[in-house]
Each structure stands twice: as C-alpha cells, then as structure tokens.
Structure 1
Amino acid sequence: MMDRRNLLRTGAIGAAAALFAPRIAFAAAPTDKRFVFIIQRGAADGLGIVVPVGDPAFAGQRGVLADIAEGGLKLDSTFTLHPMLAETGKLYGAKQALFAHAVASPYRERSHFDGQNVLESGGKGPYALKDGWLNRMLALLPEADARALAIAAAIPLALRGTREVASYAPSNLPDASDDLLQRVSMLYQGDAQLHGLWEQALATRTLTGDLAADNGRNAAATGALAARLMAPANGARIAMIETGGWDTHSGQKARLGAQLRGLDAMIGAIRTGLGAEWANTMVLVATEFGRTVAVNGTNGTDHGTASAAMLLGGGVKGGRVIADWPGLAQASLYEGRDLRPTGDLDGFIAGAVAAHFGLEPARVLPTLFPQSTAAQPVEGLA
C-alpha cells in the first residue's frame, strides 16, 4: 500500500553518504531530460486531493467534505484520488504518476508568504536564502542544457539566482478594452511578422493564475504553451508554472473541484504537447503547506501543515502512494489540528531530481537545499 521506508531515512545517514560519496561530475553529457515544477500557491488541501478515505477517523473529521472522493480512482486501501483528476488517474494507472503524502517543507507556521519563500528558496526558514532551488539545479546540468523558463508574470523565487532564466507571460498592465485590441490587430494586419506576434500575445494574455478560470481551458492552454516551449531540441529544459486559487477557506468542495479540473487539464496538455518527449519529462506539483483536518464554519479549511505532492512523467516509477501515514485521530494531529508531517518535501524533491537526471543523490541534496539537516533524498522515484 504505502512505501514507508524511504521517508524514514535519517539525516545522519544522508550526511555520512555525502561525506564518502565518490567525486563524480554532474551530468557531464548532454541530456534530453525535461523538468517542470507546478507550484500551487495558497496551500492546497492534500487531504482533498489524495483522499485518505480508508483512515477510520477521516469521515468524522471531515464532515461535509467526507464525500469529496466519490467517483474517484481508488489508489490503494487507504487513498482515493479526487474525481476531477481523471487524466492524472490514467497516468497513475500507467505507472507514470505517484503521490507523496503527509509531506512538508521545514516551515511550521501558517503564513503564505513565508511558506512559499521556504518552498521556493529551499531554505531552513523564511528569507534565509536569496536564490531558489530550481535555479541552483541548473548548475547540475550541462551548460548547453541549462535552459530554464518561467511561465509567470515575473521570475518566481525558485528560479532566481546566478543562472539566467527567461519568462513568458501576459503583461501586468491593466486590461485594454476590446475596441483598442481590435484596432491594434487591424494596424498589424498588413505586417506578417508583427501580426503573428500580436495574435500569439492575444492568445496567451489570460494564461497562468487561477486554474478554475474558463472551466480549465486557460489552464490547458498554459500547459500546451509550456509543452510547445519545451518540446524542441533547443527548447527549455526546466520550466516553472505558477498556479493560484488554492486558498479554500470557504465553499471548498466546489472550489477545490474546479481547481483540480484545471490542474488535470494542464497536466494532460503538457503530456499531449510533449508527445514522445513525455518519456524524458518529470512534472513536480507541490504547495507551501496543507490545510486543517477539520472543516471550518464556512465549509472550508484553514491554513495547516502537511499536504500531498505529485510526481508525474514517462520515467516516473509510479502507480503508488508514498507515505508514513500518521493517521487522522485527534491525538495524532499536529498541534491538535493539522495533518502531521512525517515526510520531508526537500528530500522528496532532491530524490526526484537525482533519479531523473541520473545524479548522485548525496550531492544533489546539499546543492538544492544547502541548509537541510534532516532530509535524506527519497530513493527509487524514477
């Protein structure tokens, strides 16, 4: 059912491995591997995504949200996938998707800004590091393949650092009127080059942000854009996609379902757009922290601690849920309210990157997460 062993490794083992690891070069040869990080800003409710319906305390703790997994794919005897993740479920069935549950970064408070800073910087605490783990990852790749792209309004912290990256997103300027846009289109009509660029800009001006917008069609377009920019031999090898709308303080059932429908469409579009290159691709989906186990007075949940992360791709050793499950009985909760973190998100990410790119795990961990003292890379993810 659950692979507990990898999430119970100690920091001492990791430190010893790093000390005695052979001195090897990182990814000396060119690689066709691609890596996508989809961040869920707002604290996604892992208990509503990979739903522990088999936990004896689940129904009583979740109340009106207890039926959220009805119609979803049964992953094992404990977990069921949210029914809106249909395409993701197909990847799970093809052993190209796995889920890590009860995982968290080192952050243990409940501020979105601080939590996202820790998740993206890879630091031990908020604002401890100025650059991001995804930018530091570029140093592990051959120079010719260290091409990174942010599909976001600005370069996110995870991609900031000494390595140059590009961004592709609509402008943050106020929306222009439809009349103005039509007049500019007419102005560019006679110029083949400018007209093509303008049409592409119009097509992508609503990309990124809230996954629920337009019934997930914008999310699918964002995924298709990412695939189009990564599929060519000279395209980006690393990409980060920002998503928002995960802060479900009220009316969670409908809001989370709409979010997951968009996320599922985005993942499906990436898979379809990459075609044969999907076999060389890994997609990580993670959030800054989870949400409370109990439902609040407005049928939502509040800021919590542990959550779930996803790993998808043609080379992922999927078809499983990795968790040292702590249980949802009241006495088992973190601070009496949250899913207790038993897995280290930093170790999960480091293990995924190492396996995907064929790198030494004991050296990947201190590069991506230089302040980590407790994490050991999770093994066997790809």
Structure 2
Amino acid sequence: MLNRRIFLQLSGAGVIAALHRSGAVFAQTQGEKRFVFIFLRGGLDGLHALAPYADAEYRRLRPTLALAGDQVVGLDGYFGLNAALSGLMPLYQAGELALIPAAATRYRERSHFDGQNMLENGSGRPFGARDGWLNRAILGLNGGDRRLGLALGPSVPLLMQGVAGIRTFAVSPLPEVDDDFLFRMGQLYQNDPLFAQAFSAAQAAVQPATALTMMERPLAQRDFAISAQVAAELLAAPEGPRIAAMEMQGWDTHHMQQGRLNALLAELAQGIVDLRHGLGAAWGDTVVMVASEFGRTAAENGSRGTDHGTGGLVMLAGGAVAGGQILGEWPGLSARALYEARDVAPLNTCESLFKAILTQHLGLAEGFVEDSVFSDSRGTAPIEGAIRS
C-alpha cells in the first residue's frame, strides 16, 4: 500500500509503474465495462444537492437553507443543481449524468451504522451478511480468480470485503475529525466546567488553522481528489481493475450545513470530472454511482442544518449512463407526501439501481444477481432507462 509521502513523489504517469514495482500485478479481465461506487458517508442532504427550488413547500420547509438565485443551476424549471455542483453541468448536457431524487435503500430507520451496513452487505437487513454485495458481484464476473476490484480509502469498506481478491490504495492512514464530531463533543462537555474549559481552550488554539484548512481543501477532501485521479489511471489501464469503491466522509450536517456542504459538493464534482478526464476513452464504458446511507429531513432544524432522514439523492455519471434526465418518481414535499411527516418519501430504491448496473451494464445474469448478490430483493426490479442500451 502506498503512503502519502511515496505517492506525492510520483508523477501522475508513474502511478501504474510504481504499483507494479510494489508487487501489485493486475490480471487480465473480462470485458471493458467499468463501475465506480462513491459512498458519501453521513447522509447526503439530497434537497441541498438537487433542489426543487420552484416548489413553495421547499421554501417553507427551509426558510434559511432553500437555494435561490445564483445558488442553483436550473434543469427543468422545477429542479436545479446546487451551484457547487456546476462542474457537472457539462456531463448533464452531454447526456452523461442522471439524477434520482427520493432514493434510498429499503432501510427505514435512521442509524448511520445500520444504514451503512445494510447498504454495503446487500442482504436486505443490517448485519445480515459478513461480506459486501459488490465483492459477491465480482465473483460473478470472474469466479474470483482475477482481481477486478479496487478499494480506495483508509480501510477496505464492507462493500468490497469477501472472497474475491481486491487491490487497495490509501492516501491517509487516519481520517480527520469533522465539525459535527466537535459540535457533539461541545454539547457533551458544556455542563462540566473542567472539561468545558479545556475543550474551549483547545478549540481556540486550533481554530485559525482549522479555518485555513477548510479554505484550502481539507485533508480528507484532498485525499478524495487524489483517490479519484489514481482510480481513473488504474481503471483506464489495459490490465487494471474494473470495479472501484471510493468514499467521502463528513456528510452528517446537523448544523450550519450550507458552507460545509457546498465545499463537499464542489469536491465531489471535481472528483467525478477527474475520473472522466483520467479514464479517457474508457469513460464511454463507465458508470459512476454516488449514494449515501439515507437522506435528511425535508425541513431544516434549529441549527441551520438537517437531521437524519430517509429519501435522498443518487447520482449516476458516465458514458454508459442514459443521462441528461431526472429519473424515478418524485413524491413532492407537501405534508401529506412526506414520509412519517418529516422525510422525503423513498419512492426509488437503491437496490433497483444496483441491479440495473450489474445486469444491464456489467452483464451479470439476473439469476446470479437474485440468488447470490441481492438474495432478499426479488420483489425489486432493475430500474429501466438508466443505462444506455
């Protein structure tokens, strides 16, 4: 595994050679289709990324967070992309970006741990399997004798754990502490004079450096950008992997979300653009899926943030995507339409998108997907119209 020091000594063109020197020999693969899954851990606020800006209910539910004016790039007169994602507009206009609002797995509670585990294990319930659905899918592509999989991040996510051998790449050994963690620590210690004083002093000591770091690409976000560039080069290589899993932290925006989330969205957009650029001609055979464990509340909270919700947003990018459209059903934001009177109703299932990618893009047999990858989802059909025929 390469560390940060070694990576930064390499030119972009030298990554493949360095990995070969380190003993990472990639096997020949079946087909040229690529798939990249980007996991936004923490719960992306779909209404902030893809805003129904023309809906009066949206503005009523979010008096301070609703996007308007130059904060949003209109798509169809009702929905608009957050301006922080404007780097993706050329993809949308080229038919290489599709957006699926009101999307979620079949999980209906609001625990990060359970929601993430269920999305990754693919069994239909939290902790229902010890391996990941994407690892099982790789077995169907090559029987486990070729290393088609690539995990980028400080650890191998459950999504990619299992019998199929994979390659790994990490930039940083440890993630950064995010603002929500510091906020919760402050709440925990506020009634303890000793700890409150120490915590306040520590915050004051690092605040200038923290502010500077946020302005100049936080470490975790720089790591994502580097990972996107590395993933693109490795996936584009003739003998490289074909399936990759990436992740970004920090999407749990309970307070003051607008500035923080805009920075994350801009970094996400740049990462996808970097994938497109780095993959070159292979982009035409690629699907990139961006998803989170759940969405967030339709209404903002008292801290100018949002809380754990249900229906969120999925993005599909790539030359193999039937893009330039908003897919799926949209429930609206009226009081009657909200799930449990608080969340965007989850009308579009992530599992239907997973199945479409596995069968219509990667070419796995539907029977194999039903029996071995998502064995508890026979009632969920692959979504139609997301993958180019």
Q: Does the alignment reach a TM-score above 0.5?
A: yes
**Mean alpha-carbon deviation: is it higher for 215-224 or for 368-377?**
215-224
SS of residue in 1 equivalent to 2:91: helix
For residue 225 of structure 1, give the secondary structure of its aligned residue in structure 2.
helix
Q: Is 1:160 the equivalent of 2:161?
A: yes
Distance of aligned partners of 1:363 and 1:379 in 2 relative to their CA distance in 1, 3 Å threshold: farther
Partner Cα separation in structure 1 for residue 126 and residue 219 of structure 2:
34
CA contact (8 A) 1:145 1:237 kept: no
The 10-residue stretch of structure 1 (104-113 or 360-369) with the greater mean CA deviation from structure 2: 360-369
Give the equivalent residue in structure 1 for 2:303: 298
Q: Are 2:140 and 2:368, in contact at CA under 8 Å, matched by a contact in 1?
A: no
Contact 1:304 1:339 in 2 (8 A): yes
2:259 aligned to which of 249, 254, 271: 254
Name 2:11's counterpart in structure 1.
none
Superposed CA deviations along residues 304-336 of structure 1, whole A, max 9, x for unmatched, are 001010111011110001121111111211111
Post-superposition shift, 1:170? Answer: 3.5
Cα displacement string for residues 69-96 of structure 1 (whole angstroms, at most 9, x for unaligned residues): 7343322232101111122121011000
Distance 1:241 1:359 in 2: 22
Residue 210 of structure 2 corresponds to: none
Match of 2:73 in 1: 73
Structure 1 residue aligned with 2:250: 245
Tell me: CA distance 1:295–1:364, structure 2 relative to 1, closer, same or farther (3 Å): same
C-alpha separation in 1, matches of 2:220 and 2:67: 22
Once residues 313 and 249 of structure 1 are traced to their aligned partners in structure 2, the CA distance between those partners, rounded to angstroms, is 31
Cross-structure match for 1:136? 136
Match of 1:55 in 2: 55
What letter matches 2:149 in structure 1? A
Structure 2 equivalent of residue 99 of structure 1: 99
In structure 2, distance between residues paired with 1:360 and 1:173: 38
TM-score normalised to the size of structure 2?
0.77
Check the 8 A contact 2:98/2:322 in 1, yes or no: yes
Is the CA contact 1:72–1:80 (under 8 Å) kept in the aligned structure 2?
A: yes
Which residue type is aligned with residue 156 of structure 1? P
Shift in Å, 1:56: 3.4
Taking a change above 3 Å as real, the CA distance of residues 106 and 300 of structure 1, as seen in their structure-2 partners, is same
* 1:197-255: CA deviation from partner (whole Å, max 9, x where unpaired): xxxxxxxxxxxxxx952695543222111112211111111110011010000111101
Whether the 8 Å CA contact 1:73–1:82 is kept in 2: the answer is yes
Whether the 8 Å contact between 2:171 and 2:227 is mirrored in structure 1 is: no
Counterparts of 2:61 and 2:321, CA distance in 1 = 33
Maintained 8 Å contact 2:51/2:67? no
Distance 1:233 1:223 in 2: 18
Query: Within 2, Cα distance between the matches of 1:172 and 1:33?
Result: 30
User: In the aligned structure 1, how far is the partner of 2:338 from the partner of 2:50?
Assistant: 18
Q: Which residue of 1 is the match for residue 39 of structure 2?
A: 39
Report the equivalent of 1:222: 227
Q: Deviations over 1:23-80 (max 9, x none)?
A: xxxxxx9201111000000000011111112333111111111126734332223210
Q: RMSD in angstroms over aligned alpha carbons?
A: 2.2
What is the number of equivalent residue pairs in this alignment? 319
2:340 is equivalent to residue 346 of structure 1: no
Aligned-pair distance for 1:354?
A: 1.6
Residue of structure 1 in register with 2:285 after alignment: 280
Quote the Cα distance in structure 1 between the aligned partners of 2:369 and 2:79. Answer: 30
Residue 34 of structure 1 aligns with an amino acid whose one-letter code is R
**Residues 61 and 309 of structure 1: is their aligned pair in 2 closer, same or farther, counting only changes over 3 Å?**
same
Summarize the Cα distance change of 1:325–1:249 in structure 2 as closer, same or farther, 3 Å threshold.
same
Distance in 2 (CA, whole Å) between partners of 1:319 and 1:270 is: 18
* C-alpha contact (below 8 Å) 2:105/2:351 kept by paired residues: yes
- Distance in 2 separating the partners of 1:167 and 1:327: 41
2:327 aligns to what? Answer: 322
Equivalence for 1:89? 89
The residue type equivalent to 1:166 in the other structure is R
Hey, what's the Cα distance between the residues in 2 that align with 1:31 and 1:117? 30
Percent of matched pairs sharing the same residue: 41
Q: Secondary structure at the match of 1:98?
A: strand
Residue range with higher mean Cα deviation, 142-151 or 331-340: 142-151
- Stretches of structure 1 that go unaligned for 5 or more consecutive residues are 1-28, 176-210
Match of 1:265 in 2: 270
1:292–1:304 CA contact under 8 A, matched in 2: yes
Amino acid in structure 1 at the alignment position of 2:108: R
In 1, Cα distance between the equivalents of 2:93 and 2:366? 27
User: Do 2:96 and 2:317's aligned partners in 1 also have CA atoms closer than 8 Å?
Assistant: yes
Q: Tell me, what secondary structure is at the counterpart of 1:129?
A: coil
CA contact (8 A) 2:67 2:82 kept: no
| Match of residue 149 from structure 1 | 150
Paired residues of 1:347 and 1:365 also in contact (CA < 8 A): no
> Taking structure 1 as reference, are residues 105 and 362 closer, same or farther at Cα in structure 2, changes over 3 Å only?
same
Structure 2 residue aligned with 1:116 = 116
For residues 264 and 171 of structure 1, do their structure 2 counterparts lie closer, same or farther at Cα, with a shift above 3 Å needed? closer
Aligned-partner residue type, residue 316 of structure 1: V
